[in-house]
Amino acid sequence: MTTPLHITTGHSAEGAGQLSAVGEIDLTNAPEFAARLLEVVGDGTNRVVVDLTGVDYLDSAGLATLFLHADKLDIRISPLNQALLTFSGLDQVAAVEVVGEDADR
């Protein structure tokens, strides 16, 4: 059973877009994730901070969405998803920060 996805969006005081996701991002909810990310990316003039530290599962549909906007994203992930972003190559085209107690391993 899929853990529900909860997404919050907004902007920092400096105008950077922000999106935070908690739960699982998979084929069933990737369209919602894509739509919400597109809202925050907007015209693409500012960077967008995407906080995925609360995401327990990220499949190829979620990765594809991130790749579409990779050049505009600063992605924060937990160590749980670090290997996925590394193997997919997303860390080569987007700024990725591993956040968590095991991040420096």
Q: Would the pTM of this model clear 0.85, i.e. be above it?
A: yes
* pLDDT recorded at residue 102: 58
* pLDDT recorded at residue 103: 56
Residue type, 48: V
Q: Are strands 17-25 and 95-98 parallel, antiparallel or unpaired?
A: unpaired
- 29-51 pLDDT, tens per residue? 999 999 999 999 987 777 899 99
Question: In this structure, are residues 31 and 59 in contact, taking their beta carbons and an 8 Å threshold?
Answer: no
Residue closest to 20 by CA, chosen among 52, 68, 48: 52
Angle between helix 30-41 and 60-68 (nearest 10): 20
* pLDDT recorded at residue 14: 80
